[in-house]
Amino acid sequence: MQAQTARYGPPAPAPGQQSSAGGGGGTTSSQFAAPPAKNGKAAAPVLIFNVLGSDNKALTDSNGKELTTRPAVKSGNTVFVDKSGSPVITAPTLDPSGRPVTGPDGAVLYTRLMTFAGQEAVTDSSGRAVTATPLLNGIGKALQASNGRVVYAPPVLDAKGNILLNSYGSPVLAQPLSDATGGIAVGPTGEPVVVQPMVAEGGKAILKNGQLIYVGGAGSQALTAKNESILTAFGQTITFCNSGALADEGGNAVLGPDGRVVILSASGVPISANGAVLLDQKGKPIRVTANGGVTDSSGRPILGADSKQIKLGASEVATVLKSGKNVIKSADGKTVTVGLNGQLVDTAGNPVLAAGNKPIFIDPKTKTFKDPSGKAITVSKTGVIAAKSTPLAYQTGALDAA
């Protein structure tokens, strides 16, 4: 490693707000250009920097040791890298006065790299690594859950992975989820749960009945409604990435049978791209189990076109439905597939609705299609179903609209 000195200080916080200090103010180590990574290992020396305060003097910990930036170590001598192959660098968290923030054990708290189950770095739309910052309370101390764990918050990402910035140019941070007692919710491993609003590309919040929709923070573990970790059909741990979208341990999108990325709310309920809860044939929210299986509201498995339970990540492309040799299409010419809840949708994720805007569900046992009342929906000899594709309706607004 090579050590250099760089000035470092917290960005100016908005009036009345905590500092979002940690990775940003002035350090250039994250801009170090290295050759492309090989097998997740930085292919060049990792630069570290001493950290200077506003008085141009080196900041120290409680033992008088000078603080430096640190690489995010994957294992042994291997460090995490971003999409360009640059080593991921973490930095001490500073309070609004520019002093290092310490945890319950007195050690200085550093920013934390968000990863896909510890395997790969979560990155934003530019390919830079996403790091979380310890949240601070009103007196500049690290916020803790009831179990003593410090709450780390990643920046809010929109649907394309862009980091949202506030009017001061600092990242908008995810916030802790409240539990039933009003405290900070913790996951099955004891890690505090953080959430962010669902945000469309361009920074507009996606609303439902005028209210924000909350999803897991980028790099946080996806959890069922029973607070269980969720695995894909192939046994990989599922993580939140862009605005509620799910990814596997390699950072690959977790898809449903319609070939589209699965989106999960902060409460563990699957939702569509416009934030609407996915419903079963009885009009109630579907569920996801710890093994990635999809069930109706009563816990019964929802079956796909192959008569097997639909599971997260089991598909790599959309399941194309056929009538004989003909690909089934809607009356307006859209290719029909099946959604996570067993409902017919087109390949863009729009519902394919029968007369009266009734949803259509696949009956895998009889290989027919029915509306919620059980009425059969006909398919012509040429594969055209008596239904039309209907674009999803979106309601958007400012993040503070609600």
SS (H, E, C) 348-367: CCCEEEECCCEECEEECCCC
The DSSP call for residue 169 is: S
The pLDDT value recorded for residue 16 is: 39
pLDDT tens digits in sequence order for the chain, 402 residues long: 333 333 333 333 343 344 444 443 333 233 333 444 555 554 557 888 999 888 888 999 989 999 999 999 999 889 999 999 999 999 999 998 899 999 999 999 999 999 999 999 999 999 999 999 999 998 889 999 999 999 999 999 999 999 999 989 999 999 999 999 999 999 999 999 999 999 999 899 999 999 999 999 999 999 999 999 999 999 999 999 999 999 999 999 999 999 999 999 999 999 999 999 999 999 999 999 999 999 999 999 999 999 999 999 999 999 999 999 999 999 999 999 999 999 999 999 999 999 999 999 999 888 899 999 999 999 999 999 999 999 999 999 988 744
Closest listed residue to residue 262, CA positions, set 281, 242, 291, 280: 242
Can you tell me which residue has the tokens 């170590």?
A: 73
Is residue 232 within 8 Å of residue 262, measured between CB atoms?
no
Pairing of strands 131-134, 152-153: antiparallel
Cα separation, 25 vs 20, whole angstroms? 10
Please report where in the chains the tokens 């959430």 appear, as a residue.
195
High-pLDDT (> 90) share of the chain, %: 81
Q: Count other C-beta atoms under 10 Å from residue 351's C-beta.
A: 21
State both tokens at 28: 């250039």
| Contact in structure between 233 and 248 (CB atoms under 8 Å) | no
Global pTM reads 0.87
Give the separation between CA 159 and CA 246, rounded to whole angstroms: 11
Of 177, 189, 269, 181, the residue nearest 225 (C-alpha): 269
**pLDDT at 44 (0 to 100):** 57
CA distances, 38 to each of 82, 118, 121, 190 (Å): 12, 17, 14, 33
- Which of 270, 232, 268 lies closest to 252 in space, CA to CA? 232
Residue 352: which residues within 8 A CB-CB, separation 6 or more? 330, 334, 336, 344, 345, 346, 360, 385, 387, 388, 389, 390
Q: Cα separation of 147 and 27, whole Å?
A: 33
100 closest CA partner among 169, 9, 3? 9
Using CA atoms, how far apart are residues 341 and 308, in angstroms rounded to an integer? 13
Q: Which residue has the tokens 């990155």?
A: 123
pLDDT value at position 7? 32
Domain positions in the chain are 1-113
Name the 3-class secondary structure at 31.
Answer: helix
